[in-house]
Amino acid sequence: MSDTVREVPNRIGGRRVPAASGAWLDDVGPATGEVIARIARSDARDVDAAVQAARAAQPAWAALSDEARARVLDRVADGLEARLDELAALESRDQGKPVSLAREVDIPRAIANFRFFAGAVRHQELPSHPMPGAVNLTQRSPVGVCGLVTPWNLPLYLLTWKAAPALAMGNAVVAKPSELTPLTADALVDVMEEAGLPPGVFNLVHGLGPEAGQALVEHPDVKAVSFTGGTVTGRRVAATAAPRFKKLSLELGGKNATVVFDDCDWEATLDGAVRAGFANQGEICLCGSRLLVQRSVHDRFVEAYAARVAALTVGDPADPATRVGALVSAAHRDKVEGYLRLAVDEGGTVRCGGTRPDLPGSLAGGSFLAPAVVSGLAPACRTATEEIFGPVVTVHPFDDEEEAIALANGVAYGLSASVWTRDLGRAHRVARALDVGMVWVNTWLLRDLRVPFGGVKDSGVGREGGRWSLEFFSETKNVCIAW
Ligand code: NDP
């Protein structure tokens, strides 16, 4: 560990502030296992300072016109775009994802989030309901101070997905990113300052979930909490926020099915299913970690699938040729390996991967794991129903539509699914029957920012995206005016 490791303090009221405790946490780069930064270890005192700064700044920000706020958001998008390569490298170094993915997906999406919500607030339409002798006008006002809590898998992408609509609607924000991946959030504040966002409108508090995150959710002046993370943490966040009557959005875990019928477009389905299973090392809530394949093509499909997975290049995230980078941490790799041991105990066969690749130099200390495909498991076993959130896909045969739907719905989660078939009627039937918030047919993770995003069952409560985000980050008021 070098003595020159950068210290990353909180960003409160336009200032860089160390934690009140004076303590720091190590931020470890997953590709090498080395400490790459130290972040403020914040507690309730820091959260309170950030909330007070947000409260002080929010009224003037809200008083600006929608157009004026949208212009600031556009400038944030411009600033992120100007730093695309730098941010992609930073995200890759901090998270372990391939730099090519960060450059093609994470950072462009962060830019798009700001541009999209700048446009959305400019173009929002509010209903009016005329009645005999009166007219009802629906108005929206900011909620006030919003708390944003985000996970480590898509750090800047998910933070900006919440921050852009919150700011567009005139709120002030206190954000708590995952302590595993704090660096692009800090860079975002630099960009926001350059873009002219007034001090205190966006505040960043680093630290551990049970300390800083919990204090943020508890704070009485935080009126809305938007949380993306695991289901267990989400339950805790809900239990904290509900008795305080806060607005709450929960985007939680998934165990999503990729449903392959025998009439699918073979090549496109193989490509799509591999991407769905292993993009971002399988560390995306939407990843298709359960591959359900119609029995008539099951063996042939699984063989071709495992061959493609085995051919994915695992290695240095900074190398543009890498398809699978490092898992976010050594502890997370341990957890994923534990599930692979469980899979074998449960009767599964690991068809490929699941081993630590032999990588040279400093990469030898990184948390890499070759992507794994497991067959032969009962669909109801733990490996096939619990969220692993890593590069592991389990495969299961089914006979007909009815069985495919039953298997897909047979887990506690209900986030998303993808269905692969050339039969349009079947696509409609299956999509309707799936107990999830989002279905892709013959594609995966094709996103339009206008559409509702979110899950059912243990995958969360509420929807984000387009007008759903604008509604969440505002209070709706009806004004009835008699003639
Ligand atoms: P966690 O639930 O562990 O953490 C999410 C965030 O919550 C982190 O910033 C964490 O801080 C914080 N946190 C932890 N405890 C508390 C608490 N008591 N109060 C407030 N905040 C707290 O999730 P991960 O970071 O491990 O992310 C992976 C999970 O996120 C997976 O389950 C994945 O499915 C889900 N996810 C869901 C998405 C969706 O849109 N549905 C998208 C992406 C991920 P700290 O890191 O310091 O613990």
Kindly report the CATH number assigned to the domain that includes residue 278.
Answer: 3.40.309.10
Q: How many helices (H) and strands (E) does the chain have?
A: 16, 23
51: CA distance to ligand 1 center in Å? 21
Residues 277 and 421 in one domain: yes
Q: Is 366 part of any domain?
A: yes
Structure tokens at 247: 């607005």
Q: Which atom of ligand 1 is nearest to the CA of 176?
A: 9
Say what the alpha-carbon torsion angle 406, 437, 342, 356 is, to the nearest 10 degrees: 130
Q: Which atom of ligand 1 is nearest to the CA of 464?
A: 40
263: CA distance to ligand 1 center in Å? 38
CATH number at residue 85: 3.40.605.10
Number of domains in the chain: 2
Helix (H, G, I), strand (E, B) or coil at 393: strand
Q: Which atom of ligand 1 is nearest to the CA of 214?
A: 19
Residues 68 and 212 in one domain: yes
Please tell me the distance from the alpha carbon of residue 136 to that of residue 124, in angstroms, as a whole number: 17
Structure tokens at 138: 């629906």
Please tell me the distance from the alpha carbon of residue 289 to that of residue 350, in angstroms, as a whole number: 14
Count of CB atoms situated within 10 Å of the CB of 396: 24
Residues 235 and 266 in one domain: no
- Burial zone of 427 (CB within 10 Å; 0-12 exposed, 13-18 middle, 19+ buried): middle
Q: Is 320 part of any domain?
A: yes
226: CA distance to ligand 1 center in Å? 11
Residues 138 and 151 in one domain: yes
- pLDDT tens across the length of the chain (483 residues): 445 799 999 999 999 999 999 999 999 999 999 999 999 999 999 999 999 999 999 999 999 999 999 999 999 999 999 999 999 999 999 999 999 999 999 999 999 999 999 999 999 999 999 999 999 999 999 999 999 999 999 999 999 999 999 999 999 999 999 999 999 999 999 999 999 999 999 999 999 999 999 999 999 999 999 999 999 999 999 999 999 999 999 999 999 999 999 999 999 999 999 999 999 999 999 999 999 999 999 999 999 999 999 999 999 999 999 999 999 999 999 999 999 999 999 999 999 999 999 999 999 999 999 999 999 999 999 999 999 999 999 999 999 999 999 999 999 999 999 999 999 999 999 999 999 999 999 999 999 999 999 999 999 999 999 999 999 999 999 999 999
209: CA distance to ligand 1 center in Å? 8
Query: Which one-letter DSSP state was computed for residue 457?
Result: E
Please tell me the distance from the alpha carbon of residue 357 to that of residue 364, in angstroms, as a whole number: 9
Please tell me the distance from the alpha carbon of residue 160 to that of residue 346, in angstroms, as a whole number: 40
Active site residues: 251, 285
Q: Is 1 part of any domain?
A: no
**Whole domain around residue 289: which residue ranges?**
257-448
Rg (CA), the chain: 23
Residues 275 and 381 in one domain: yes
Asked if 324 and 98 touch (Cβ cutoff 8 Å), the reply is: yes
Asked if 274 and 258 touch (Cβ cutoff 8 Å), the reply is: no
Pocket of ligand 1 (CB under 6 A): 149-153, 176-180, 208-210, 213-214, 217, 228-230, 233, 236-237, 251-254, 285, 387, 389, 415, 455, 460
Residues 234 and 269 in one domain: no
